[in-house]
Structure 1
Amino acid sequence: MTAPGPTLQNHTATYVFAVCAHIDHHALATLPGLGENSPVRPLSLGALTAVVQHVEAARFSEDAWRERLSDQGELERCARAHHHVVSAVAARGATVPLPLATLYRSDERARHGLRQDAERLHTALRRIEGRVEWGVKVYAPPTPRPAAAQTPAPALSPSPSSSSSSSSVGAGRGRPSSGDGRAYLDRKRGIQKRREQHHDEALRAAETVDTAMRTVAAASRQLRTHAQEPLEPRRTQVLNAAYLVDEKRYDDVARTVTALRRSTGMDIEMSGPWVPYSFVGEV
C-alpha cells in the first residue's frame, strides 16, 4: 500500500520491506529486492532500522499498482521478491514485515512516517523476538456416503385411473405409495442428520486441535477457513490457524501435531516455520 498522500510525482520512491532493530548493509548487499537498479539497504530510524530500496515512482503509482493487481504473474513476482527480502532479514533477528507495496516519496518521508509508528513497531519486535509462526490446517474427511441401495427412490404404485388398454392415456404410469414416500423422506432426513453430526464432530475435533496447539504457543490466531476443495476427495477445512511459537519448541510442535493426527483421526497439515506475519499487527 502507498503511504498517505497524493500520487507519487518524484522520479524515485522509497519502498519499505520491513523494520528491525538493526542490520548491517553488508547483509543486504546481495539481495535483488524488486529488481530495480538500486540496492536493498538499511535506513536508520534511530533505535530502529528500516530495510528499503529506491524504486521508480511511476512503476509503483496507484494506477500502476492497480494494473499489477490484475496481472497474477506480476503480482506473484512482486510478492515473492518482497518475501525473499523479509525472510533474509528475519533470519538475522526479529523483523516486522510491512505490507506489500509500502512506499514513501523519499527517505525522509519514510523516516517521518515510520517514527510515528515506532511504539507499535517496538512492541511487535518484543513480541516476536525468538519466535516463529507455524500454520495448522485441519480438514474433515468426506462425509460417508450411504450405499445406493439404502436410499432408493419411492416405489411407484399403479394409479387407480390407469388402464391395461394400450390406448389408455397414462398407461403404465404410477405414483408413489404414501408408505414408500414417508420411508424415502425419513431416509433423506437421516442422511442429512448424519451429515450434520459428521460436521459437528469435525468442529469438535478442530477445537481439540486448537486447544492443544495453544499449549505450546505464545499466541494464536484463527484465520478464515478456505472453501471446500473442488477436487476429490472433497475435504472441508474446519480450522485454519496460526501459532506464534518459540523457535526452540519445534520438536514440541511436531510431537503435538503427530499426536493429534493419531487421536482425532483428522487430516492435519502443518506448515512453517514462517516469519510471524500474522502477529505483527496485533500489539
Structure 2
Amino acid sequence: MTQCASGPAAKATKSTESAKATKATKATYVFAVARTLDPAVVADLGGMTDGEPVRVLPLGSLTAVVQSVPAHDFTDDAWQKRLSDPQDLERCARSHHEVVSASAAHGPAVPLPLATLYFSDARARQALEDEADRFHAVLRRIAHHAEWGVKVYGPPASPPDDVDRPAPAADRGRPAPGAGLAYLERKRGLQQRREQHHERSLRIAEEVDAELGKLATAARRLRPHGHRPSDARGSQLLNATYLVAEHRAHEFAELTRALRGRTGARIEISGPWVPYSFVGEV
C-alpha cells in the first residue's frame, strides 16, 4: 500500500491494497532511507502516530526509517480528508519532516514523499530493496551537501505622480489643445519605463542564479510565487534551490550578501535544509 507514488520508491507499489488496508491493523509508514542509522537517533520521536515507536528497518545494505501506523488512518479516503484539513495536513508534514531531519543529521538520508506506506514491513522491504541501486546513487550525490533556497524580489515600479493628472483647461473646463495627445504620450512613456524596469529586474535575477549556480553542485528553478498587492517585498523574480557542499556553505551565503549589495535587489536565503529537491533526479 503506497499513498504517495513519487520519488525514489515510486515504482515500488501503487495503492491497490487500500480495501485490504481497512481490515488490517497496522501499515508501515516510511520516512527515509539511509545507509546506516543508530535506532536511538529516532526512537524518541513522535512520528505520525502515538503509541508506536519510530524505528529502523534493515534493507540489506541500507536502512529505512519507519513506523507502524493504524492502517485505517491512511487509506486513500482518509488521506483525501486530511488533504482538505490544512491544520491536520500541516501536522503530518511537520511530523514527517522532524523524523527526516533527525535521520539526516547523522549522515545522508533520502527523504521519501509524505504518506509513503506499505501493507507490511515485508512489503516495504521488498519494494525499497528493489530500488537499492537508486538509493545508493542518491546517497552518494547528497553526502556532505545541504539544500539552500534563494528568492529574489524586484521592487515595484512607481508611476510618476503626474501621469494621471487632469489635463489643463483652456476654457470653461474644456481640455487645452493637444492635451489628449500629451496624456497618451505620458501613458506610453510610463508603460515603456515599466517594461524597462521589468527587463532590468529579470536580468538581475538571471545574474544571481548564474553566480550562485557556479558554487552549487546542482540547482533547480521553481515556479515564482504570485505577487500580492499588499506584499511590500515586490514581485518575485527568482525562486530557486541549490544543492551546496557543506564546505562551501559559508562561501554561498557570503556571495548571496555580495549580490544583494551589488544589484540592490531584495534577496532572501534560507537553509540549510535536507535536500528534498535533489533526491528524485538520479
Mark yes or no: TM-score above 0.5: yes
The residue type paired with residue 199 of structure 1 is: H
Structure 2 SS opposite 1:22: coil
- Given candidates 33, 58, 69, the residue that maps to 1:44 is 58
Q: Report Cα offsets for 1:28-66 as digits up to 9, x if no partner.
A: 211111133211011111111110000000011110011
Question: Per-residue CA shift, 1:167-213, capped at 9, x if unaligned?
Answer: xxxxx675x56611111111111111111111110110001101110
Q: 1:257 to 1:181 in 2, by over 3 A?
A: same
1:157 deviation in Å? 5.8
The DSSP-based 3-state class of the residue aligned with 2:112 is strand
Query: Could you tell me whether the CA contact under 8 Å between 2:154 and 2:233 is conserved in 1?
Result: no
SS of the residue corresponding to residue 258 of structure 2 reads: helix
CA contact (8 A) 1:104 1:110 kept: yes
> How many Å separate the matches in 2 of 1:150 and 1:6?
65
Look up the match of 1:200. Answer: 199
C-alpha contact (below 8 Å) 2:52/2:69 kept by paired residues: yes
Q: In the alignment, residue 6 of structure 1 is paired with which amino acid?
A: E
- Whether 2:151 is the aligned partner of 1:152: answer no
1:165 aligned partner: none
* Alpha-carbon shift at residue 12 of structure 1 (Å): 0.7
SS of equivalent residue, structure 1 residue 100: coil
User: Is structure 2 residue 111 aligned with structure 1 residue 101?
Assistant: no
Q: Distance in 1 between matches of 2:85 and 2:214?
A: 42
* Aligned-partner residue type, residue 245 of structure 2: D
> C-alpha deviations, 1:237-269, integer Å up to 9, x for none?
000000100112121012101110011000000
Query: What TM-score does the superposition give when structure 1 sets the normalisation length?
Result: 0.90
Residue identity over aligned pairs, in percent, reads 53
Q: What are the within-5 Å matches in structure 2 for residues 86-97 of structure 1?
A: 86-97=100-111
1:232, 1:121 → 2: CA distance?
41
Which structure is larger by alpha-carbon Rg, 1 or 2?
1
What is the distance in 1 between the residues matched to 2:279 and 2:128?
A: 14
* Cα 1:181–1:93 shift into 2, 3 Å: same
State yes or no: 1:59 paired with 2:70.
Answer: no
What secondary structure is seen at the aligned counterpart in 2 of 1:99? coil
Q: Provide the TM-score with structure 2 as the length reference.
A: 0.90
Alpha-carbon offset, residue 111 of structure 1:
1.0
Q: Which amino acid in 2 is paired with 1:254?
A: A
CA contact (8 A) 1:69 1:75 kept: yes
Runs of 5+ consecutive residues of structure 1 not aligned to the other structure: 159-171
CA contact (8 A) 1:36 1:54 kept: no
Distance between the aligned counterparts of 2:274 and 2:150, measured in 1? 15
Question: Hey, what does 1:162 align to over in structure 2?
Answer: none
1:37 and 1:132 map into 2 onto residues whose CA distance is 32
For the residue of structure 1 that corresponds to 2:113, the secondary structure is: strand
Count of aligned positions: 268
- Which residue of structure 2 aligns with residue 34 of structure 1? 48
Structure 1 position 155, deviation (Å): 4.5
CA deviation map 1:115-159 (0-9, x unaligned): 222222111111100000000000001212311x3442345666x
